[in-house]
Amino acid sequence: MDLLRIPGSRIVEVSRLAFATPDVDFLCFGESDQPSPSTAHKAAVAALAEGQTKYSDVRGLLLLRTALAAYLTGLHAHPVSETRVQVTASGMTAMNVALAAIVRAGQRVVLHEPAWPNVPNAALVRGAQVEAIDLIALEDGRFRLDLDHLDQILTGARVFILNSPNNPTGWTASLAELRAILEICRRRSVWLISDEVYSRLVYDGSAAAPSLLDIATPEDRVIVVNSFSKTWVMTGWRLGWMVLPEGARDGISEIVEITHSGVAPFVQQAGVAAVADTDVVAAFRAHCTRGRQLAGEALAGLNGLHYAAPDGAFYAFVGVEGLRDSLSLAKRLVTEHGVAVAPGVAFGSSGEGYLRVCFAQSPQRLERAMSRLRDGLLQELSAR
């Protein structure tokens, strides 16, 4: 068949096995078991009752664009104008639209790994040459980005894709690191796409992770991608947005038009309500903080593991000493211990030897799942 093929998802491979196996706790997806905000539900229902099911402005409802601009202006150091905001059907759609606007076949796209596999695959679909720079794994279980190496590898590149806070490692760039990354991209004339989907899920007491929106100008070749999926627990709603360079939105909206023709207005009304519901953000961060604590307690004291509580996002990225086949281990954990986690190799070759565990779950569910995972890891480590 003359069809484009991209590598299959190892996370999906594990999940399909888990769906076919009785009594399995799912920690393999990047999704919480908490409900979406009731305010969003009510706004969507009201919009449906009002008949808001027709085509709407492909740029996004003005009400939502204005709400997002005000939200971002209040959160970050620099103001964001409504004229720079483009609404999309999910954060991943925003990433695809950005790549469609920037990248042509044969051009180099650089990103850091481990990385969520959808992003490099989206670049491959565009015919790009994808090159990864590995995050450096430190002895204490944390990670860092080698900025000198990044400077070298960006020579001749078209775009650098940054994900901070990072899925799967939880690595979160400091403001100083972001300044250095932006300076490199400016000097190398490289576009910078910043995936900030987990920006509100940080654990140092800050309202948000350091952002390109704190330091970049409206004229910089920077596109910031975000989503309602994580911060507002709205994964299934498929609602995201982009912050673009000033003057770029009209061109980008034409790409949105031919990609998905805009977002359903009743979904956008749910987004307006969610942005206004600040309690949801604080409550979900507190929920994830508790999950982070429980995951750490379950993993403590296991010799042969490399793990540090993440600075951001809602994953424990656990290194298992001597592990050479994380996919096989993830499958054994399903069939023998009743817990599904994501194999590290799903996030690139540098993720091999790790497991990703989503801790954004209710305490009772997470405690049982982490107990099962601990038992499985103890068995794995004792067999070596």
Q: Tell me what the mean pLDDT of segment 109-116 comes to.
A: 98
**Across all residues in the chain, what is the average pLDDT?**
97
> Could you tell me which of 112, 86, 125 has the C-alpha nearest to residue 227?
86
Range(s) of the chain covered by CATH 3.40.640.10: 38-277
Two tokens, residue 237 = 């709603």
* pLDDT tens digits, one per residue of 129-170: 999 999 999 999 999 999 999 999 999 999 999 999 999 999
Give the three-class secondary structure for 331: helix
Range(s) of the chain covered by CATH 3.90.1150.10: 10-36+279-378
Give domain 10-36+279-378's CATH superfamily.
Aspartate Aminotransferase, domain 1 (3.90.1150.10)
Bond prior to 114 in cis (omega within 30° of 0): yes
Q: Tell me what the mean pLDDT of segment 61-90 comes to.
A: 98
Q: Tell me what the mean pLDDT of segment 63-91 comes to.
A: 98
The burial of 306, by beta-carbon neighbours within 10 Å (0-12 exposed, 13-18 middle, 19 or more buried), is given as: middle
Structural fold of domain 38-277:
Aspartate Aminotransferase; domain 2 (3.40.640)
Q: What is the pTM of this model?
A: 0.96
* pLDDT tens digits, one per residue of 276-295: 999 999 999 999 999 999 99
Note the pLDDT of residue 1.
Answer: 57
Report DSSP state, residue 202. Answer: B
> Could you tell me which of 338, 337, 334, 342 has the C-alpha nearest to residue 315?
342
Beta bridge partners of 163: 195
369 φ/ψ angles, rounded to the nearest 5 degrees? -65, -40
* pLDDT tens digits, one per residue of 184-229: 999 999 999 999 999 999 999 999 999 999 999 999 999 999 999 9
Q: Tell me what the mean pLDDT of segment 238-262 comes to.
A: 97
Task: Find the DSSP H helices in the chain.
Answer: 10-19, 38-49, 62-75, 91-102, 118-125, 147-153, 175-188, 249-259, 265-276, 278-299, 326-337, 363-382
